[in-house]
A = this chain, B = another copy of it.
Amino acid sequence: MLHFDSDYMRGAHPEVLRRLVGTNLEQTVGYGCDGYTAQAEKLILEACGLENTGKVVFLVGGTQTNATVIDSFLERRQGVICAETGHINVHEAGAVEFTGHKVLTLPSHEGRICPRELESYLQEFYKDETWEHMVAPGMVYISFPTEVGTLYTLSQLEEISAVCRKYELTLYLDGARLGYGLASDGCDVTLRDIARICDVFYIGGTKCGTLFGEAVVVRDASGWKHSLSAVKQHGALLAKGRLQGVQFEALFTDGLYLKISRNAIDKAMRLKAGFVAAGYELYKDSPTNQQFFVLPNGKIDELMKVATFELWGPRGEERTPVRFVTDWATTDAEIDELLGYL
C-alpha cells in the first residue's frame, strides 16, 4: 500500500534520528536549558539573520504552537485575523478560543488573505464608533504554505506586513510546512525574508523531518519575555527539551532542512505532471508538497485499493477533489508505482 495521506506518517529523517540515538544516554539539564538547544537556537538565528536580536522557542506540535504564540502576543481583549480556511479557524478544536481569543476571518483566496481586504477590514473596524464593543484585532495569522498548498509572494508578504505595522498588529506566520514552501520552484521568498517581515513565525519540524517539534522564531527577543512560563502554563514545555534541540541542530546543519524539503517538491511535481499527463484536472495548482486533483469517483475507488490519500471535501456526484501529499522521504519508486495505476 502506498501512503499519500499526509506528511506526518513517518518518523524522523535518518540523520535526525541518528543524532537522537547518538545522544540518547547523555545527561543534560531539562526544559531546553541544555547546550543542544542553545546550539540549535544559534544555528536557526543565523539562518534567519537574527543573530543579535531574535529568540527561538521550541514547542512540540502545531496546534499547541499556534495557541501558545497567539495567546502570548495578544492582549486579552484582542482577536486574531486569518483566512476563513486558516488552520486555527477550522481544524484546531477551538484551541485559540479555548485561551479566550476570537478568530476573526477574512475571505480566503486559495488559502491566502488579500492585503487590500485586510486594510479595508481594519479601516471599517476603526471607523465604527462602537469598535470597543467588538473584538479588536491584535494579530494577523497567515500560513506559508497555506492549507491548500499555495504560497504568498514576497511582495504580498511585504504588503501584509505594511498594513500590520500601520495598525500595530503582530504578523505571525504558521510554518508547519515552511520547508516545503521555501523549497518550491516558484517561491521568491527566503527564510531571511520571512524572518525580516514577520514578527513571529515557526519553522515546522513535525512535517519536515523531525519526530516532533516546532521552532518559534521571534524577531525581537524582547517581544516575548518569560516565554518559559507561558509555554509551561500552556502545558507545552518538554521536560527533555534537548530532544528538540538535537533534532533542530541536525536540520540546520549543512542545510539539511531545505535539502530534505526539496525532495518532497521534486516528488510532488512528478506526481502532478503524471496526473496531468494522464488527463486529470487540477483542483488547485499547488507548487508545494500538497497536490489537489479532481478525479472521477470510479478512479478514486480504484486507487484506494493501492494507495491512501484524502478526499478533499464531500464525495461529489461523479467526481471528487482529492489530495495527495509527499514528504521528505517520498521515493521515485513510490511515485512511479502510483502513476502506474492511472
Binding site for B on A (CB under 8 A): 3, 5-6, 8-12, 14, 17, 20-21, 23-31, 60-65, 67-68, 71-72, 75-77, 79, 90-95, 97-103, 124, 127, 130, 132-136, 206-207, 211-212, 226, 228-230, 232-240, 243, 314, 329
Contact between chains at B92 and A61 (CB < 8 Å): no
Complex Cα distance A91/B240, Å? 16
Nearest chain B CB to A321's CB is how many angstroms away? 14
Contact between chains at B229 and A93 (CB < 8 Å): yes
A11/B20 contact (C-beta < 8 A), A93-B77, A97-B79, A230-B77 known:
yes
Complex Cα distance A326/B6, Å? 40
Main secondary structure of the interface of A (DSSP, over half): loop
Nearest chain B CB to A220's CB is how many angstroms away? 18
Contact between chains at B211 and A240 (CB < 8 Å): yes
Nearest chain B CB to A168's CB is how many angstroms away? 12
What are 22 A-B contacts with C-beta separation under 8 Å?
A9-B29, A10-B26, A10-B27, A11-B26, A12-B24, A25-B329, A60-B238, A61-B238, A72-B76, A75-B226, A76-B233, A77-B93, A77-B233, A93-B229, A93-B233, A95-B235, A97-B101, A124-B314, A132-B228, A206-B240, A211-B243, A212-B240
